[in-house]
Structure 1
């Protein structure tokens, strides 16, 4: 393998030249484009890392290695032929099990779906391919991608490489671990209640929930989707660095009118990097923030202030009301379909978790469902007014430290406490807003992070502020520890 050329835009250390799996996606893409490494070398390096760590961690549950290497060879020929290259040309990525990859099973962690073979790619997968990315594996999820803990009877449990006693996150837990452990520099995830941001939080990553409608969501194996699922569900990238999240966002976003909610929205705005007024949310009604989380919020507030942001303590309206509205809409829809599937698969763990969530959700009729949607829109208007004054919100990702396995399997009351503690995740999803988890360091051996929230389609504002934080935070890569 050829050594990387020296270039100010490329930050790979020379002593890592024989361990490409350690590199960021931006570095891989830059060197592949220059021809100083090949895509095959990058893919082979990540596959070797997968062989070394995945048998224990169980983040990737299926990989078509032959196809990945063939795709890498095609990418290398395109470089040699001086063809137009996408932003992730030749870069290894992972794809979550709840989206379609042509010819592979979209199991979503459900045994009954083990033979559900996708006839074609989901849009997010085809967009990644158009950007030049190479799929090196499918990442694990809880059944139906409906839990903050990634384990299922079909593929087993995905372990958190920082501490196996705590959750690897969910539902994009396999995605988070695949990046955190160096199996790939970038992963695709989905988020309807924190399923990107929470795995990013517990695995020490940057994870972006894009605005619903930014990244098209069409899955050939999926039938009709209810209103709440359509409007709250979002996709996005997980990565070790903010610049890779930005690359992933651009690559995943693209045209597909099969998604009726897709919006041809502007990506960049002139004031994305402007130091704006920030609302610091360090108190959540009904919850008690862990001291380490409060310390992280204050640390980030000082970093932003030092960069010109005006930080004020302020709480947006209805943080816990957002959880109730999410419950009213999503769990009502679950009673119409998904819950029957949960009962049918015979998995006691997912049944117990969903039943606990279901028991705490209001039992409403059609009028109540319509009223919940109207109340959700009313709350979103109030947040719009709040964000007019505070274009950026700094809040917890979660109000508690990473949960231990089974924290959602106790009583209904235990589950309700979990939901309140996860309200920063759930409310942002209920209001269809973008959110970004930003790592802030390590506390007692576990990653710590905070969440940034902005208005619809202002993901670049989040990434700009996230980059400011990242520059001042000494966040170690997991690679030296695992």
Structure 2
């Protein structure tokens, strides 16, 4: 099989409900015209009507435009001789913080309803160029700045496994849409775990690529602080690793208008090799629950069965990386976002964001500049680790899925939460890629692990995820 090509299962072996199909299969069969894009769109609309009124993941949609786009996609297959894109006719959701032409990029903030995008963001433009059809916008917390998804405009997004636990954030709506069958793939963003954590608590895969891999330019946000430029990444959420790969390839093709985009190859000669994997099961200052240790053990055994050599390694300090992230991002928040937080007059968001800010160092120039310098030194240590172990296996989070509002208890509670989320935040602080992979459930709730790779080795990460999928298949929420 050629690199990047996906196997396609015959129609007869697939479940009858089109909304359960992988994006890879949908795209292949639409292209073959064994199913139509219109049929797929209607199937997803039916599923959305069934579950979204309760879950509230998709909060903005234009059904007429979606049907028209599906009809055009089908017509193009009969009228055009040019090859169609890899996601031709496949519905995909877009997070509320990415620009979609003619729609408001509210990011969950009432005052931002006036921020109507004149053009698609670059990642949305790439997805459209690949043939994807936007089938709705997914919910976020205000400013995409919380591990819980609810806001004053659209309300709360529920986790399909349990109403009692968080749906994650900030890509909570995206993860819930994928987990519950309202979309095969979803767009998300991640500056502190905002793709990986929702994927973790909803039992799906979520890929944070290396920052710069996928263009992030948004016309409604003309200037971004250094932390957003260095730490934030755009990426996909899906139910299979092959769908992540298909969507990543579509997202990353062109970003020349974005000065942060890096035109570097996706594919490397050793992507399919079973490389050494460093196992990180000791996190500074944190006692890992036995269920999370069990999840790591399941994943390690799956990788070893596929030929990977998994060895325990000592990781450079995640707590140092967390402190650097706080020093940089919270300083920037105090200079920019905090005034809008206070003006919003939303007690929940304000309490959570101010509690996190209280854990950060004093916001002065020396602290900020020193943090940037220390970050460079810490990245060198991590890079030395990747020379020996191109992949790392670690917890996605050091605690089981949180209950709603676990972040509203003040500074002490937030400090413990930040320590527990240090595997998420440290990866972002060091501008690395990370990938949540489900490894089953415990007591009816999802378990997952995180694969972290050397910079720009997303395909190597996805191959390891596929090995875990094969040995440790996970149950779907709708099975």
> TM-score range, shorter-chain basis?
over 0.9
Q: Does 1:454 align with 2:473?
A: no
The Cα offsets for residues 361-387 of structure 1, whole Å up to 9 and x where unpaired, read as 001311221110010111001100011
Deviation at 1:211, TM superposition (A): 0.7
Partner Cα separation in structure 2 for residue 194 and residue 304 of structure 1: 24
Deviation at 1:277, TM superposition (A): 1.1
Partner Cα separation in structure 2 for residue 443 and residue 420 of structure 1: 23
Deviation at 1:13, TM superposition (A): 4.9
Q: Does 1:133 align with 2:132?
A: yes
TM-score normalised by structure 2 residue count: 0.97
The Cα offsets for residues 80-113 of structure 1, whole Å up to 9 and x where unpaired, read as 1243111111001000000100011111000111
Structure 2: segments with no counterpart, 5+ residues: 1-5
Shift in alpha-carbon separation, 1:234–1:290, aligned structure 2, 3 A: same
Which residue number corresponds to residue 473 of structure 1?
A: 472
Partner Cα separation in structure 2 for residue 372 and residue 177 of structure 1: 35
Of residues 65, 68, 75, the one that matches 2:66 is 68
Q: Does 1:170 align with 2:169?
A: yes
Which residue number corresponds to residue 4 of structure 1?
A: none
Deviation at 1:247, TM superposition (A): 0.6
* Mapping of residues 132-171 of structure 1, within 5 Å: 132-171=131-170
Quick check: 292-301 or 252-261, which moved more? 252-261
Partner Cα separation in structure 1 for residue 52 and residue 352 of structure 2: 26
Quick check: 63-72 or 236-245, which moved more? 63-72
The Cα offsets for residues 265-313 of structure 1, whole Å up to 9 and x where unpaired, read as 1110010121111111111011111111100101111111122211111
Which residue number corresponds to residue 390 of structure 1?
A: 389
Which residue number corresponds to residue 3 of structure 2?
A: none
* Mapping of residues 81-92 of structure 1, within 5 Å: 81=79, 82-92=81-91
Deviation at 1:15, TM superposition (A): 6.6
Question: 1:10·1:30 contact (CA, 8 Å) conserved in 2?
Answer: no
Residue aligned with 1:178, SS: helix
Deviation at 1:9, TM superposition (A): 2.4
The Cα offsets for residues 3-31 of structure 1, whole Å up to 9 and x where unpaired, read as xxxx97225555733x2111110010011
Shift in alpha-carbon separation, 1:385–1:14, aligned structure 2, 3 A: closer
Quick check: 315-324 or 421-430, which moved more? 315-324
Residue aligned with 2:114, SS: coil
Question: 1:22·1:479 contact (CA, 8 Å) conserved in 2?
Answer: no
Which residue number corresponds to residue 3 of structure 1?
A: none
Deviation at 1:65, TM superposition (A): 1.0
Quick check: 359-368 or 226-235, which moved more? 359-368
Which residue number corresponds to residue 58 of structure 1?
A: 56
Partner Cα separation in structure 2 for residue 387 and residue 217 of structure 1: 26
Q: Does 1:339 align with 2:335?
A: no
Shift in alpha-carbon separation, 1:370–1:15, aligned structure 2, 3 A: closer
Partner Cα separation in structure 2 for residue 14 and residue 214 of structure 1: 35
* Mapping of residues 228-243 of structure 1, within 5 Å: 228-243=227-242
The Cα offsets for residues 13-53 of structure 1, whole Å up to 9 and x where unpaired, read as 55733x21111100100110000110011111101111111
Which residue number corresponds to residue 36 of structure 2?
A: 38
Which residue number corresponds to residue 77 of structure 1?
A: 75
Which residue number corresponds to residue 437 of structure 1?
A: 436
The Cα offsets for residues 220-260 of structure 1, whole Å up to 9 and x where unpaired, read as 11121011111100010000011000011001012223321
Structure 1: segments with no counterpart, 5+ residues: 1-6
Q: Does 1:48 align with 2:43?
A: no
Partner Cα separation in structure 2 for residue 357 and residue 106 of structure 1: 25
Partner Cα separation in structure 1 for residue 151 and residue 463 of structure 2: 37
- Count how many residue pairs are aligned between Structure 1 and Structure 2: 473
Residue aligned with 2:352, SS: helix
Which residue number corresponds to residue 118 of structure 1?
A: 117
Shift in alpha-carbon separation, 1:249–1:15, aligned structure 2, 3 A: closer
Question: 2:149·2:166 contact (CA, 8 Å) conserved in 1?
Answer: yes
Partner Cα separation in structure 2 for residue 308 and residue 85 of structure 1: 37
Residue aligned with 1:254, SS: coil
Task: State the Cα RMSD in Å.
Answer: 1.2
Shift in alpha-carbon separation, 1:258–1:15, aligned structure 2, 3 A: closer
TM-score normalised by structure 1 residue count: 0.97
Which residue number corresponds to residue 19 of structure 2?
A: 21
Partner Cα separation in structure 2 for residue 315 and residue 411 of structure 1: 32
Which residue number corresponds to residue 201 of structure 2?
A: 202
Which residue number corresponds to residue 192 of structure 1?
A: 191
Partner Cα separation in structure 1 for residue 186 and residue 106 of structure 2: 18
Partner Cα separation in structure 1 for residue 14 and residue 233 of structure 2: 38
Question: 1:86·1:131 contact (CA, 8 Å) conserved in 2?
Answer: yes
Question: 2:8·2:24 contact (CA, 8 Å) conserved in 1?
Answer: no
Question: 2:92·2:133 contact (CA, 8 Å) conserved in 1?
Answer: yes
Question: 1:317·1:382 contact (CA, 8 Å) conserved in 2?
Answer: yes
